[in-house]
Amino acid sequence: MAIEYFEEEQVFKLDTSNTSYMIGIIGEEKFVTHIYYGRKMKSHRLVYLMGLGEPAYVADEMAADRLNFLGGFPKEYPTGGIGDYRESAVGIRTKSGHTALKLSYTKHRIYSGKPELSGLPASFGAKDECVTLELECEDLFLGLRVILLYTVFEDVAAMTRSVRIVNMGKEEIYLTKVLSASMDMDNKDFDLITLHGDWARECRINRYPLTMGTHLVHSICGKTGHQSQPFMALAAHGTGEDQGEVYAMNFVYSGNFLAQASLEPSGGLRFVMGIHPQDFLWKLNPKEEFQAPEAVLVYSIEGIGGMTRTFHDLYRKHLIRGEYRDKKRPILLNNWEATYFNFNTEKLLAIAKEAAADGIEMLVVDDGWFGVRNDDSSSLGDWFVNEKKLPGGLSHLVHEVHALGMKFGIWMEPEMVSQNSELYRAHPDWAIAVPGRKPSLRRSQYVLDLSRQEVVDAVYHMIASVLHSAPIEYVKWDMNRALADIGSYGLPPDRQGEVLHRYVLGVYQLQDRLLNQFPSLLLENCSSGGGRFDPGMLYYGPQIWTSDDTDALERLMIQEGTALLYPLSCMGAHVSDCPNHVTGRVVPFKTRGQVALAGTFGYELDVTKLSREERLQIPEQIAMYHKYNDLVRQGDYYRIASYAANGVYDCYMVVSKEKEEALVSFVHVLLHPGELVHTIRLKGLHPDRNYEIEGDTRSYTGEELMYGGVRIHTPWAGGDCCGKLIHVIAQK
């Protein structure tokens, strides 16, 4: 069984295919201690690692050096106020103003399958795919019960953690902090790996040595944000793509978060993840409970690449849902960079007609189809058609697009309201604001207060009305500003600290209701590009717009960082116009198509304005997509070379699970004189199988391709920014 309890030693052992995780119960007070996480072991007898017989680890409640014990032993879910001065995972304040919390094990339950988390996105699995441990603890003085949930996915070597807190006492308790996971461990000369960025520069890989003190990534802007991913990894120094130890956490949540590693002078290390405690205060009345979001834990002995493939497998199989989870996505054309706000039915149909002739499968109408919106200063919240632009409304336009053999999609920003809108004039109190204080605008818009159920209901009915008005197959759900001036007209003073989390729960409820009502809808999430690219949003939509920067060379770096965690199948990627609208750079049309292949694939341009040479390449790119997308979407991802790191060329490959087929994507960014050839060593093939390269008459063994390599000559490039695809097929 994947989870076992050894009663004599009071040890829980959680196993995947190649990892083990161990938890111990120690002393008469039944403290819950972290013992081990790492390579899979047969033994469970590692309690000696706790050093319980050593002078500093005397668990007796009356011991003279009690604080030494409380402040030093490795806890599974540390609390504050009792002598552990490291980062706590949970914080409380009682009605009388006290903060001390001490948890002791009371009971546990082990069962097949995995429970849903109320109101939250979470991984899922059938009873034969995963096993769950519910480990119950309680502060008997306060009557506060804390249930630690662990689920082990044996097939993908990953596990998840979350926490549920129940007030069993007679008085209200305020939760000041609820993190989802904590792990105490020894420092192994770790490097930290994080993903940082900004608008149009998302997910840049950052690696640096873990030094003494506290290192963190976080967001306090109401969403996960462009600046950092809800992710942190600890990699043993010297760990590379294919070898070495990595410990990683990723947070299944779309609001404020904290990921933190703290290295103590004693050599101990505490690694935590959860909702950011800033501006968080949750009132828990008697018999009420609070469910924290889920953290995903991955351990890899096969380096960073092994970590990546584990995340990919978990998310593809156990997080992404719906009709399109395992399906090829329709090739779309989005009109944003083609027309911006300046369009009408005639213009859209002219683009659609030419796009359909080239084999493009869907037209997506972006911002500007509703209210009186001709720029970004008005009409968000007024979700009715602007019939001056679109006579006959969406139903007429969709009918005409369908007549061309294309699907139809639409852009919306349901979480926002413009100051200049009918909705705001009718309900100014529906915007997030501190009562009595004028909130700040961004893009002339406010954020709707989705912590209030009446606002959630009203927004849902507006969206559903639009989708009922015409057969719309796709929605791009955008969110273009951060939250500020945090306050709600709908909550009492002692619950204002709940606004930010309740807002996120409102977003989740909206998308969940939408998908239940329209189960065939393809939902693509977006937040000014990748400003809310996280596992929480991936649970509702199988793809997320990766970045507003569509420049192919910038996308090499953005997509590399995003693919560190997320499958290629979920990364929105388009071929856009040149000079690029963000960078002004010109990249060959062929290379733009190759780079967009590492994603959902589509177009963001006016096909009627392309040169004849570029127009002729569209059917070729579409054929390329259909030929390779099953492999790109489902295969194992291997990073071979990073343009972000070497400044010259980029290379990755995907390999089918059966190792029958592989695709190598090589982009030579900067051509240097005399640099005539690159030898690329492939990965992930079977060393003893015979393979052929499409267009090459030779036969190669897997070991030749992996250990010897493939020679790629640069003269074919004809200059900078040229790419090459290498298709490898196993011989029968």
In a 3-state reduction of DSSP, which class is residue 405? coil
Indicate which residue of 139, 184, 382, 548 is catalytic. 548
Cα separation, 586 vs 580, in Å, equals 6
Cα separation, 318 vs 656, in Å, equals 19
Phi-psi region at 142: left, alpha or beta (left = phi > 0; alpha = psi -120 to 50): alpha
In a 3-state reduction of DSSP, which class is residue 704? helix
Sequence-separated (6 or more) residues with CB below 8 Å from residue 476: 334, 364, 366, 409, 410, 411, 412, 524, 526, 545
Q: Which amino acid is at 89?
A: A
Structure tokens, 636: 């194992």
Report the greatest alpha carbon distance in the chain.
Answer: 85
Cα separation, 436 vs 446, in Å, equals 15
478 has catalytic annotation? yes
Q: Which amino acid is at 55?
A: P
Phi-psi region at 548: left, alpha or beta (left = phi > 0; alpha = psi -120 to 50): alpha
The beta strands (E) that lie in 123-228 are given as 130-139, 144-153, 158-167, 173-186, 190-196, 204-209, 213-219
Count the neighbouring beta carbons within 10 Å of the beta carbon of residue 608.
13
186 has catalytic annotation? no
Sequence-separated (6 or more) residues with CB below 8 Å from residue 278: 220, 256
Cis peptide before 579 (omega within 30 of 0): yes
What is the number of residues in the chain?
732
Q: Across the chain, how many H-helices and E-strands are there?
A: 14, 39
Indicate which residue of 382, 478, 636, 650 is catalytic. 478
Nearest to 66 by CA among 84, 91, 86, 47: 84
Cα separation, 398 vs 452, in Å, equals 33
What is the Cα Rg of the chain in Å?
A: 27
Pairing label, strands 130-139, 144-153? antiparallel
Count the neighbouring beta carbons within 10 Å of the beta carbon of residue 212.
11
Sequence-separated (6 or more) residues with CB below 8 Å from residue 363: 332, 333, 335, 348, 351, 352, 355, 401, 406, 407, 408, 409
- Catalytic positions are 478, 548
